[in-house]
């Protein structure tokens, strides 16, 4: 779930465990549970290997010979009192361990309010001390200084002013032997194209031509409008940081990004960008939505036409992370107005 709901999820989980120990289970819920067990059991019997597996289970687990022949009878005989009795025997909330894996800076404060004892572990499950997320901000630092440091780190404003368009292709392994390809084009005329393909099929395509835009997913086209169009146009610039200098963004704090301290710039309510305190380079971008937070990680910067571009872009899709390796970057070539029709 989203980070903001972590504390609520923990509290509700414990609440439900306590409730099943103290309240009779709802008759309809019990009936539905039985129906699922019965249905799964009957369907499984249609497969010959299931019979062999049941016979092996009886032997290995020292079960009664009639365990499976009386299985449905025993399932249907379970009562609400049985559920309550077994829940009290096995559900020991005082011995429970709830494992929370996520962004500590966003979940810890609310988790501490629950009063539940909290222990901390590093990425390798070794016990560690409570992390300190309050990294002191250097005096007189502001958003524009962070952005200017980034612009200087990738080549300088003079170089960026010479750029009219950027063309990029990248690929990632979707599964063994199956590649996902990314093509992206951006211009200084508020034009952008981004398309993801796999096995010769377009998975997602978004196009902005400066005034309007559309998205195509699974063959279904939908036009952009309102705030969605406005945000998409704002992201068409090859280097949006140049536009950020005009205001509207804020330096929030310093966070740890994979062991590297970074300035967090809040672009809007959905978007935050992180810039390395050490190199000045952009190393992460977060976009939040009702579906959760999607993160992009930028590493392996290389110079093209005097400007540094990330040649490895990590993208998170829910719990999964996929690394796009950039194959080609072109500056001021490979892009025409017809690309954005």
Structure tokens at 328: 């080609």
Cβ neighbors of 316 (< 8 A, separation 6 or more) are 293, 294, 295, 296, 322
Structure tokens at 109: 């404060």
pLDDT averaged over every residue in the chain: 91
The pLDDT of residue 321 is: 84
Q: What is the C-alpha to C-alpha distance for residues 299 and 311, in angstroms, rounded to an integer?
A: 7
Higher-confidence residue of 134 and 10: namely 10
The pLDDT of residue 62 is: 95
Q: How confident is the model at residue 301 (pLDDT cuts 50, 70, 90)?
A: very high
305: left (phi over 0), alpha (psi -120 to 50) or beta: left
Mean pLDDT of 189-204: 92
The helix (run of H) or strand (run of E) holding residue 326 is: strand 320-331
Tens of pLDDT, residue by residue over 28-68, are 999 999 999 999 999 998 888 998 999 999 999 999 999 99
The pLDDT of residue 181 is: 94
The pLDDT of residue 222 is: 93
The pLDDT of residue 174 is: 83
The pLDDT of residue 123 is: 79
164 pLDDT above the threshold of 80: yes
Q: What is the C-alpha to C-alpha distance for residues 89 and 160, in angstroms, rounded to an integer?
A: 68
DSSP annotation of 5: G
Tens of pLDDT, residue by residue over 57-112, are 999 999 999 999 999 999 999 999 999 999 999 998 888 899 998 778 888 888 99
The pLDDT of residue 104 is: 84
- Percent of the chain with pLDDT strictly greater than 90: 68
In order of their start, the domains of the chain are 3-128 (3.30.830.10), 143-340 (2.50.20.10)
The pLDDT of residue 18 is: 92
Token match 């025993």: residue?
74
Q: What is the C-alpha to C-alpha distance for residues 105 and 112, in angstroms, rounded to an integer?
A: 12
Higher-confidence residue of 298 and 319: namely 298
The pLDDT of residue 21 is: 93
For the whole model, what pTM was predicted? 0.70
Mean pLDDT of 262-289: 93
Tens of pLDDT, residue by residue over 218-268, are 889 999 988 888 888 888 899 999 989 988 899 999 998 888 999 999 998
Q: Are 331 and 337 in contact (CB under 8 A)?
A: no
291 pLDDT above the threshold of 80: no
298: left (phi over 0), alpha (psi -120 to 50) or beta: beta
Mean pLDDT of 307-331: 91
Mean pLDDT of 312-337: 91
Mean pLDDT of 112-125: 89
């Amino acid at each position: 779930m989203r980070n903001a709901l972590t504390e609520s999820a923990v509290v509700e989980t414990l609440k439900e465990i306590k409730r099943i120990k103290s309240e009779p289970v709802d008759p309809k819920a019990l009936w539905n549970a039985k129906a699922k067990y019965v249905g799964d059991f009957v369907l499984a019997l249609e497969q010959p290997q299931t019979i062999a597996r049941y016979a092996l289970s009886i032997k290995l687990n020292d079960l009664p010979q009639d365990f499976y022949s009386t299985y449905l009878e025993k399932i249907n005989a379970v009562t609400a009192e049985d559920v309550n009795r077994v829940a009290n025997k096995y559900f020991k909330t005082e011995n429970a361990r709830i494992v929370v894996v996520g962004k500590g800076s966003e979940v810890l404060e609310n988790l501490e309010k629950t009063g539940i004892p909290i222990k901390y572990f590093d990425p390798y499950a070794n016990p560690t001390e409570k992390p300190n997320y309050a990294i002191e901000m250097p005096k007189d630092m502001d958003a524009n200084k962070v952005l200017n440091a980034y612009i200087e780190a990738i080549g300088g404003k003079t170089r960026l002013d010479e750029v009219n368009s950027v063309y990029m292709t990248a690929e990632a392994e979707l599964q063994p032997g199956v590649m996902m390809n990314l093509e992206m084009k951006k211009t200084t005329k508020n034009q952008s194209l981004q398309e993801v393909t796999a096995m010769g099929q377009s998975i997602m395509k978004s196009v902005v031509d400066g005034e309007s835009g559309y998205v195509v997913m699974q063959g279904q086209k939908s036009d952009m409008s309102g705030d969605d169009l406005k945000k998409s146009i704002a992201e068409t610039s090859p280097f949006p940081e140049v536009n950020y200098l005009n205001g509207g963004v804020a330096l929030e704090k310093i966070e740890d990004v994979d062991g590297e301290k970074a300035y967090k710039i809040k672009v809007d309510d959905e978007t935050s960008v992180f810039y390395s305190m050490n190199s000045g380079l952009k190393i992460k971008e977060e976009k939040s939505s009702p579906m959760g937070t999607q993160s992009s990680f930028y590493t392996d910067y290389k110079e093209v036409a005097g400007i540094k571009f990330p040649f490895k872009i990590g993208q998170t899709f829910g719990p999964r992370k996929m690394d796009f390796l950039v194959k080609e970057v072109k500056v001021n070539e490979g892009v025409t107005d017809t690309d954005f029709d």
